[in-house]
Amino acid sequence: MDTSKKTKLTGTARGTSTGENDRESALRVSMEEEKNRKTDPKETRERSIIIVGSKSVVDEKPKPTIAMEYSFGRKAGKSLVKNIVHVWEIGYVASSLISAAMSGSALTHSPHHTALLIMLDLSKPEVLWITFEEILSAVRSALKMSYNSKLINEMIEYRTSDRKSVEKMIDPLPLKTFIIAGKYDEYQDFDLDKKEIIGKTLRGIAHSLGAGLHYYSCKEKILLRKTKDLLSHIGFGAVLAEGKFTSYDKPLIISPGADSFSSIDSQLPYSRPSMILDTIKQTFVVRVPQITRNDESALEDPSNDPNFNEPIIDKLKVQREEVHLGFIEISILLDDMLNGRTQQIPIPDPI
């Protein structure tokens, strides 16, 4: 075999091998970057906010959300790469929907950078605890559906690691959590005793979950600005001034971990977290009896909402309703026949 030809073939083989190595190396680096992006608890270009609770808190006439609504925002950072925030608004309190938002956010970044906003209505204290319990139950179920126990424990440990002291009675959620208590403009007309019991209750549940607490009103410029600052902090990592405002005749604003059970109520028992929450509940419901509420997220007929026009689905729905009505009519006729209520049908004489 010619020596020059042999050298040429060998060089080609080496070039192919080098190209394959380069591709493998690039793929490995890309996979490592992807893994770091989804697991790094500190650095990130993307974050998520999951909003669950009373839709009327943010707006007087909220746009109906049948199940879940997704949106996103972008903001230029120090580099050319923009920071992105994914917003998942849960229209109906269900663990499956909340879990879908948690799992969806985990596709683009670490769960450490997902925040939970629990919306509660200050103007309706008679359903406040019922609403809170419903949300908390759905959130806890969604967490188990979305993350394994090892990751949940790691997230809780990371959340509490930067605090000087952590009370043993708290049971923090693994996600960064804030309770947004809205309709403050209506709430501020309540008497001071009522404000105090509501305020103590919200402080108690927020501290128990390791959450922050912010009173809000779309009609109060100062509260509106503070809430925007909070959202900028959660969504884009902007610096947020730490604060603790606990006067019950004014809006409460308390950062996560800044409160303590002793300052909320000196009579709270030194016990496990579930007992603490139960004590807070019993104290609250005695003073503010809870009533069964209608599901405010349910529309009279959501399919007729012009915001959700789907011609193909609407046509199928009409066909299904027609079939369903036909079955109802047949069912009524059968029931009448079985109970002897059918009218006698005249039978003509034979020809």
The predicted-structure confidence for 105-118, as pLDDT tens digits, reads as follows: 988 899 999 999 99
> Per the structure, how many domains does the chain have?
1
pLDDT higher than 60, residue 207: yes
CA angle 177, 101, 114 (to 5 degrees): 35
Identify whether the C-beta of residue 279 lies closer than 8 Å to the C-beta of residue 268: yes
Cα 222 to the center of its chain, rounded Å = 25
Residue 275 is assigned to a structural domain of this protein: yes
Burial 158-173 (b: 16+ CB within 10 A, else e): ebeeeeeeebebbebb
Residue 130 is assigned to a structural domain of this protein: yes
pLDDT classification of 100: cutoffs 50, 70, 90: very high
Distance (Å) of CA 85 to CA 79, 255, 321: 16, 21, 41
User: CA-CA-CA-CA torsion for 253, 254, 260, 264, nearest 10 degrees?
Assistant: 10
Supply the CATH number for residue 206's domain. 3.40.50.300
**177: β partners:** 116
pLDDT classification of 300: cutoffs 50, 70, 90: very low
Residue 170's domain comprises 44-287
Look at residues 64, 65, 83, 63 and name the one whose alpha carbon lies nearest to residue 73.
83
pLDDT higher than 70, residue 9: no
Residue 30 is assigned to a structural domain of this protein: no
pLDDT digits (tens, 9 = 90+) for 34-47: 656 666 667 778 99
Residue 307, pLDDT score: 56
| Higher per-residue confidence, 49 vs 32 | 49
Residue 306 is assigned to a structural domain of this protein: no
AA letter at 226: K
**Tokens describing residue 96:** 């499956």
Residue 269 is assigned to a structural domain of this protein: yes
Lowest mean pLDDT among 5-14, 19-28, 64-73, 195-204: 5-14
Residue 276 is assigned to a structural domain of this protein: yes
pLDDT higher than 60, residue 253: yes
Give the whole-angstrom CA distance, residue 239 versus residue 233.
Answer: 6
Residue 29 is assigned to a structural domain of this protein: no
Residue 23 is assigned to a structural domain of this protein: no
Secondary element (H or E) of residue 179 = strand 176-182
